[in-house]
A and B are shown apart, each in its own frame.
Chain A
Amino acid sequence: MLKIKHLSTSYGKIHAVRDISFEVNEGEIVTLIGANGAGKSTTLQTISGLLKPRAGTILYKDEDIAGMPANKVAARHVVQVPEGRRIFGRMTVKENLEMGAYLRKDSAGIKEDIAHVFELFPRLEERIAQKGGTLSGGEQQMLAMARGLMGRPELLMLDEPSMGLAPVVVETIFEVIQKLRDQGITILLVEQNASLALSIANRGYVMETGEISLSGTGRELLANEDVQKAYLGH
């Protein structure tokens, strides 16, 4: 579904991502793990069009989307839930969800999808008329994901969904991620919480200083000694 080939992205002279290649197959959860600054978020942002790659191709359903502006990538149902959530703080929960459906014009479908995301996150329904900025961190993460789902993603890219959240909330969120895969949404998950990410992922890639150093199934990586030493604290 998604094939990244020899992708490089740089901020000025700093090469944040160097010649990486990986792929995500339909129906999978694929995770990119690695330390802070390894280039995981940069990779996601390059795919979603928020950053321009320096070199390489990003094939999504056999179309090269490298360098395509973010709004066009979103129109292809490749949706990013950005790091730090970036919800619209002064819009209500409902307005945030409606923004998520910005590219859609099927108002009946939008209504149905709002109902659907409330099924996934009942907490949001309780807060429907509340301003996004007044939600707790966990609720904001739920809203960011729900807002992303409103774009009917085929590929959903989650950037550090567990960041700064209480373990209980993280658990809920990861349960939902698995549910979404079961509903047929392909997921690319960037996480620092490696053990959790690998435990739900079909496959994973380990990033180190802008390069992919290891890859394998979730189980393989969990069992890998280097991974355990570096990321799992064993």
Chain B
Amino acid sequence: MRELIAERLKGVTAKPLFTAGKMTAAQKIGIALLVAAVIVAPILFQGFGQLFMIRIIAVIGLYIILALGLNIVVGYAGLLDFGRIAFYAVGAYVAMWVGIPLAGLLGETLEGWSYFLVLPIGGLVACVVGLLLGLPVMRLRGDYLAIVTLGFGEIVRICLTNNIFGITNGAAGLPGSGDSLAAPAGLAWLRRNVHFTIGNNFEFTFTSNIYWYFVIFALVALSILVIRNLDNSRLGRSWAAVREDEVAAQAMGVNTTVAKLYAFVIGAFFGGIAGVTFSYFQAFVSPESFTFLESVLVLAIVVIGGMGSIPGVIFGALAIQGIPEFIRGFASAGWFGNLSAETVSAISNYRYLVFGALMVFMMAVRPQGLIPQTRRARELLGEYDAIDGHELDAREPGDRANSTRGRA
């Protein structure tokens, strides 16, 4: 009898949460096209002299990594975090603090590799900072955690602005005069040798922008792979359980504190590597890149894109970080006629107004985000089940925080 049931179970295909779903042919083609576009686009933009486009897309890539990291915390583990940009800052400053002396240490022939060495260091330092913050605050829930993380983000920014320990150079940023980050390995060679023209209008040189663009998108691809596997892992299951019902998760043997800490720390890692890359890409960092507004933007990317959904996050980054930058870029490139620099910056400042309205609209109309993860959508909508039409038990969100107190 038992064998019989086990035999029948083999054929059962419940919607896979705990196993990686197989992609359909259409999805595979879609991804192939996307990858091709990501590779070809910068070559075209560089060739036709639209350099601002490459930089904008590269920055979008950085925000994708940041938002993917935050998505682990918010989307998978269900923890609200308003201070994510702090880990980006940590990575960015570590790049300056470690990258510059490290390049000196490596000497002229090897200094180009400093970025690749600093990258994991920045990620790990962000992890440690995440752990130090996470240990005391993991017992907090919902709003309280949000407030603490918000405070943390501000503390980090204020420390940087006030030149804490004399190593951040205050509002003027890093590197200080006379210092600079080493150009990455291979760039000089690529610049010299990858150079071609097609006709009269197309001239391609492998510039540093192109270099960082490809580094960033390699990181994006790597992040997606890692996070996809995480979501399907044991850890991913424990996150899903914690998000749904912490008490039940504990009763199943999930160490909820550790599960949440993992989310926090792994999320911080992605913030850290994005920060390191940002530093090298911009060749300059200052506290004004790490304001509360940036934390909110990253959170908006996750929420608008769809919590827990990787495609959602990518799309969210394109919409939130991309559209305003494109508009600003096109405006300053003179596509809308001759606008003054002031008008251009005014236009880009209005984006926050638009976001505010968009967020309210989204929460009212589509709280699960543009491309939601299926499970998350169920949680937010109390979706009807196709099989017998019973509605989900209407548990208040606060019910989860109810724990076991007050019952005897």
Contacts and interface: CB of A to CB of B under 8 A. Distances in A.
Interface of A: 11, 16, 36-42, 45, 48-51, 69-71, 74-75, 79-80, 82-83, 86-95, 98-100, 102-103, 111-112, 114-116, 118-119, 125, 127-131, 133-136, 147-148, 151, 210
B192 interface: no
A29 to B, nearest CB: 20
B76 to A, nearest CB: 14
B254 A102 contact: yes
Contact of A89 (B237, B247, B392): B392
Nearest to A92: B14
B250 interface: yes
Contacts of A92: 14-15, 17
A151 B252 contact: yes
Nearest to B403: A50
Given A94-B14, A134-B387, A82 B244 contact: no
Contacts of B256: 71
The 9 closest A-B pairs by CB, nearest first: A74-B253, A133-B392, A70-B250, A115-B5, A134-B385, A86-B248, A103-B253, A129-B14, A71-B255
A99 B1 CA distance: 24
Interface centre among A11, A36, A38, A83 (most CB of B within 10 A): A11
B6 A95 contact: no
Interface in B187-240: 234, 237-238, 240
A147 B385 CA distance: 21
Given A42-B407, A99-B241, A131-B392, A80 B251 contact: yes
Interface in B243-289: 244-245, 247-256
B18 to A, nearest CB: 6
B255 A95 contact: no
A230 to B, nearest CB: 17
Nearest to B394: A133
Interface in B382-408: 385, 387-388, 390-393, 395, 404-408
B385 A102 contact: no
A167 to B, nearest CB: 21
Interface centre among A51, A75, A90 (most CB of B within 10 A): A90
Given A88-B248, A115-B5, A116-B2, A102 B237 contact: yes
B253 A102 contact: yes
Interface residues of B, number: 45
A104 B245 CA distance: 20
A11 B13 CA distance: 45
A114 B5 CA distance: 9
Contacts of B23: none
A74 B252 contact: yes
Interface centre among B1, B252, B378 (most CB of A within 10 A): B252
A69 B255 CA distance: 8
A195 B6 CA distance: 37
A128 B2 contact: no
Interface of B: 1-3, 5-6, 9, 12-15, 17-18, 234, 237-238, 240-241, 244-245, 247-256, 375, 378-379, 385, 387-388, 390-393, 395, 404-408
A3 to B, nearest CB: 22
Contact of A45 (B2, B248, B404): B404
Contact of B408 (A40, A100, A116): A40
Contact of A70 (B251, B378, B379, B405): B251
Interface centre among B5, B12, B245, B391 (most CB of A within 10 A): B5
Contacts of A94: 12, 14
25 contacts: A11-B405, A40-B408, A41-B408, A50-B251, A75-B253, A87-B248, A88-B240, A90-B378, A91-B240, A92-B14, A95-B17, A99-B241, A102-B234, A102-B238, A103-B252, A103-B253, A111-B9, A112-B2, A115-B2, A115-B3, A119-B5, A128-B9, A129-B13, A133-B393, A148-B251
A115 B392 contact: no
A115 B6 contact: yes
Nearest to B244: A88
A86 B246 CA distance: 10
Given A40-B408, A50-B404, A115-B5, A71 B253 contact: yes
A37 B385 contact: no
Contacts of A131: 378, 385, 392
Contacts of A83: 407
Given A88-B241, A90-B392, A91-B244, A16 B14 contact: no
A79 B181 CA distance: 56
A230 B371 CA distance: 57
Nearest to B234: A102
Given A86-B245, A129-B12, A133-B392, A147 B252 contact: yes
